A and B are shown apart, each in its own frame.
Chain A
Amino acid sequence: MALPITVREGSLQHRGLNFGHALLVVATVLALPYVVEPYRLDQITGALILAIAAVGLNLLSGFGGQISLGHAAFFGIGAYATGILVTEHGWSPPVAFLMGMLLCFIVGVLVGLPALRLQGMYLALVTLAVGVIFPSLVRRFESLTGGSAGLFGISYDAPENAYFVGRTGQIVWLYYVATVALLLSCLIVWNIMRGRMGRAIVALRDNESAAIVMGVDRTVVRTVLFGISAAIAGLAGGLFAVDTGVLTPESFSLLFTIYLLVAMVLGGSASYWGPILGGFAIYFLPLWTGEITEGPAAGVVFGVLIILMVFTLREGVIGGLKKLGSKLLVVEPRRPEPVGELSDQQMMSDAAILDLDEAPGAIEEASRDVSRPRP
């Protein structure tokens, strides 16, 4: 068969492909605990947590076009809120996660307020301020946070169940918790971006003045966007707290935000799978470069790798995969169906459809444009 294979949108093959795609993801998620070693599964949980944070950042920076250098702070607020509530006050972790998310949402909205007036580099610097201040605040309020020595003993024990026995069972449990949390975050982002709010966000990113003229409420959209993005990062932080069990201010430095940004852009910003892939890349790449080489050389390899990926994959890993995929498979968009009785105009609309048929690429290009940030 000649490549690329063409499939019509909405046809049986297309639905089958989509279903198979989803099935593959579900099967992988369910099979992982049985296939990989427990220590590897533990690492995957770590990557999942990074992926959640990257999904949160992507909502703000990828879809919303507002750069943030302060997401480590939101991640940290979520982590410390969970840590303190669980260890000091004996709350159950899921409730603590929710409280952490709520707190992050409020702080996020507050940080979002200056973002109304600022753009680009200036906004980056304000969020940088938040990111840099957070670790020093943690050190300062030692009695609450444990300061530089750290906050210990945070855990989320698996329920009494034959499936989650012993140390391995605990690892499997946290893996499932992280998977569900990632799924929830993706659902939140997907739902926002599919609806009215999502179109408002993209419109504000692409042309602020035009969006405001069209009736988009900038104040509400921007601050809520900041809040939700922060809340998702906070959820990731809460999971990080129960996963590692120890919190120190060093974990939430500027470097962490930088890693998140790298994850988002490397994976492919303003896409759904991009930040997830990026989260995995940013977790496993340093581990692998550390295995290949020793000590500081690993850092050099990692840095060079980032630069190389910027040059070879301009639209991120997802963009590269899509380009590759389009060589194998083309999904032809659904034909617009004539509405009502159009016997007179039938000929004309048929001709129009024929015209469109000759250039399926153009339609696809046009429909894809929505998800791409403008330079």
Chain B
Amino acid sequence: MDLFVDRVIDGINNGVIYGFLALALVCVYRSTKHLNLAQGEMAMFCAFIAYAFTKIGVPVVLAIVLAVAAGAVIGGAVERVLVRPLGAGADYSILLVGIGLFLSLNALAGMIWGGDPLAFPNVLPSAPDDYVAVFGGRLRYQQLLTMALLAAILAGVLALFKYTKLGLAMRTATSNPESARLLGIRVNRINSLGWMIAAAIGGLLGPLVAPGTTLTTFMMFNFLIYASAAATLGGFDSPGGAVLAGLIIGVLESLVGGYVSIIGSDLKLAVALLLLVVVLMVKPSGLFGSKQVERV
């Protein structure tokens, strides 16, 4: 029983990370309909920026806030300089830009901070007995904080889309950019905002997971694959679906990897992705995504 609880909690913790990053992917997708392959690397870079701030004596919390701000700036800059000039419909080009950004951010971080794993401080106390006991399992403070922040951001994003004028404008700009422009909505700015929010979410996630994964240039690579899977499973245009799918994937992979011995730890990712394939065969637009209807 204890082992079961441990595995579920382990899965939830990972699932929260997947959902977090998937939420960022969804924000980008909802603004410009692209998959940002560099999303994880941008989050990684923000974690390094936070690290640089803590090194010069800035308190951790403030360093993370600064990293989030840096993330928003990076996201906005990328949208303005690298995505917008390529125009709509340049899918392959944007994919390549993402790859180029991925490679250069990764190498740049390695160049500035070296290739060795670095230790990043926790925000909350993390001594061995700093945990909340749940059914005999242990939830660490830092993990609780990550969960709470994810819930808060998700609520914020949903509220933004549903209850504010800006959110309405964002939805309009996504569903029909042409009409939105005619209505006087500044579609470019809205798209920019989507990228900024996404990168800021990444900028928050990076420093939060860095204590657990240690700070390395490839810390986000696997998370990005899982997050893409989560976003697809949930439906690329549904923030809540993406987070929920992240949790499902996290728990399922932890349980299957733990209990089915043929699968072990090697094939955990394979299980997550197979699940994805099966779901997509039945429901091609994801669990909660809106169906794409094409006019012939």
Interface residues of A, Cβ cutoff 8 Å to B: 67, 114, 117-118, 120-122, 124-126, 128-129, 132-133, 136-137, 139-140, 209, 254, 258, 261-262, 265-266, 269, 295-300, 302-307, 310-311, 314, 375
Contacts and interface: CB of A to CB of B under 8 A. Distances in A.
Given A122-B232, A139-B266, A129 B97 contact: no
Contact of B100 (A295, A310, A375): A310
B120 interface: no
B101 interface: yes
- Max count, chain A CB within 10 A of own CB: residue among B101, B105, B277: B277
B26 to A, nearest CB: 12
Interface string B221-242: 0000100110010001000000
| Chain A CB within 10 A, most for which of B91, B96, B102 | B96
27 contacts: A117-B284, A118-B280, A120-B91, A124-B35, A128-B273, A129-B229, A129-B277, A132-B225, A133-B269, A133-B273, A136-B270, A261-B96, A296-B115, A297-B111, A300-B103, A300-B104, A300-B108, A303-B106, A306-B100, A307-B97, A307-B100, A307-B101, A310-B86, A310-B96, A375-B89, A375-B90, A375-B91
Nearest to A209: B296
B168 interface: no
A128 B225 contact: yes
B103 A302 contact: yes
Contact of A129 (B89, B96, B273, B296): B273
Interface string B75-114: 0000000100110111111011101111111111011000
B281 interface: yes
A305 B105 CA distance: 13
B93 A303 contact: no
Interface in B239-296: 264, 266-267, 269-270, 273-274, 276-277, 280-281, 284-286, 294, 296
B269 A303 contact: no
B285 A140 contact: no
A20 to B, nearest CB: 33
A299 B92 contact: no
A262 B270 contact: no
Contacts of B269: 132-133, 136
Give 8 nearest A-B pairs by CB, closest first: A299-B107, A303-B104, A129-B273, A375-B89, A303-B103, A306-B100, A296-B110, A307-B100
A307 B103 CA distance: 10
Contacts of A266: 96
Most buried by A among B92, B225, B267: B92
Nearest to A142: B266
A132 B103 contact: no
Contact of B92 (A265, A300, A303, A311): A265
B274 A254 contact: no
B86 to A, nearest CB: 7
Interface of B: 29, 35, 82, 85-86, 88-93, 95-97, 99-108, 110-111, 115, 225, 228-229, 232, 236, 264, 266-267, 269-270, 273-274, 276-277, 280-281, 284-286, 294, 296
Nearest to A299: B107
Contact of B266 (A122, A126, A140, A314): A140
Given A126-B280, A128-B228, A136-B267, A299 B96 contact: no
B292 to A, nearest CB: 8
A126 B277 contact: yes
Contacts of B102: 303
A126 B267 CA distance: 16
Contacts of B97: 306-307, 310
Given A132-B269, A298-B107, A302-B107, 5 more contacts: A133-B267, A261-B95, A296-B107, A300-B111, A304-B104
Nearest to B262: A140
Contacts of A295: 110-111
Given A118-B280, A139-B266, A375-B89, A125 B228 contact: yes
Nearest to A314: B93
A151 B220 CA distance: 29
Nearest to B96: A310
A52 B131 CA distance: 55
Contacts of A209: 294, 296
Contacts of B294: 209
Given A122-B232, A296-B111, A133 B99 contact: no
A262 B99 contact: yes
Contacts of A269: 92
Nearest to A138: B266
A117 B35 CA distance: 20
A299 B104 contact: yes
A360 B106 CA distance: 49
Given A121-B236, A133-B274, A296 B108 contact: yes
B276 A126 contact: yes
A314 B97 CA distance: 12
A339 B115 CA distance: 72
Contact of B104 (A121, A307, A311): A307
B99 A258 contact: yes
A306 B232 CA distance: 27
A266 B296 CA distance: 32
Contacts of A140: 264, 266-267
Contacts of B296: 209
Contact of A307 (B82, B264, B276, B284): B82
A304 B100 contact: yes
A156 to B, nearest CB: 31
Nearest to B226: A132
Interface centre among A118, A133, A296, A305 (most CB of B within 10 A): A296
Contacts of B274: 129, 133
Nearest to A286: B103
Contacts of B225: 128, 132, 254
B126 to A, nearest CB: 31
A265 B267 contact: no
A136 B285 CA distance: 27
